[in-house]
Amino acid sequence: MNPTRPAIIELVRAALNRVAVGALVALAVLATPGTAAAQCPPTPATEYAIAAADVVFVGRVVSIAELGLVAQVEVLSIWKGRDLPELVEVRGASGSAASSSDARRFDVDNRLLVIPENSRAPFLATGCSATQAYSGGAHLIPASYQDAAGATAGRPPIAPESAVDVEAELSRSILPLLALIALIGLTWAVIARLRTLEPERVAEATPEPAPPKPQKPRFKRRNKKRDVARTRKVARRTVRRHGRGLRGYRRRQNRQLAAARTPADGEGES
């Protein structure tokens, strides 16, 4: 047996014991309430938190989900901010931070004065927010909070019928605008189409060029007597020309004949 093996085993055991002790200490520190509270900044007084918040309302938890981190809250009275429906969602942790020390867990039927960290649903009310349990009257705002809330009494939530009416009014106000936009688009399309058809209509309306007229004769018989006289003159000139040629031809023939006869006559005489 190797003599160093027991020493190695003892070292490994000591290291595991140290790791286990460190893990237990860390869990104890995380579980200490003072440590969890140390992660949140000091919470201001309720009246200051109400004055700084955009939305403040009193509600009752109807149902919970995700181990109490998400709650469906029935709005009983709106102390500050815009109108809310009868049922809103409130989250006790941002995202999926279920193990965060500042997470808030809700219980069914608890009444809360919700002072969320945001202004729109789903509302965020972690353990660091000023959200707190509330047992007073829902509609009448306590005198100490009236200046911060800017009202003496809360407002009821919007009924579902009212929400539907708001949506209907919104749709009725948008429909004329959409119709006007559609009409403008249709008019633009018609104008563009007419512009493309205009050259074709102009080409169709343009008449074809007339065929060329036949050319008139070069010489027109404007004066019949003059034409007759001109014809006669040309004829006499032609006759004279040919006549002169014929007479010259005959003279040459006669001369040739006379020249041919002269030696023959001389031989006969001798």
pLDDT digits (tens, 9 = 90+) for 142-165: 888 888 888 888 889 887 655 555
Do residues 74 and 89 make contact, with C-beta atoms less than 8 angstroms apart?
no
Distances (CA, A) of 257 to 27, 262, 263, 268: 166, 9, 11, 17
- Rounded Cα distance, 50 and 115, in Å: 7
pLDDT tens for residues 220-261?
Answer: 556 677 777 788 787 777 766 666 666 677 777 788 888 887
Q: Report, as ranges of residue numbers, the positions in the chain whose pLDDT lies below 50.
A: 1, 21, 25-26, 28-38, 270
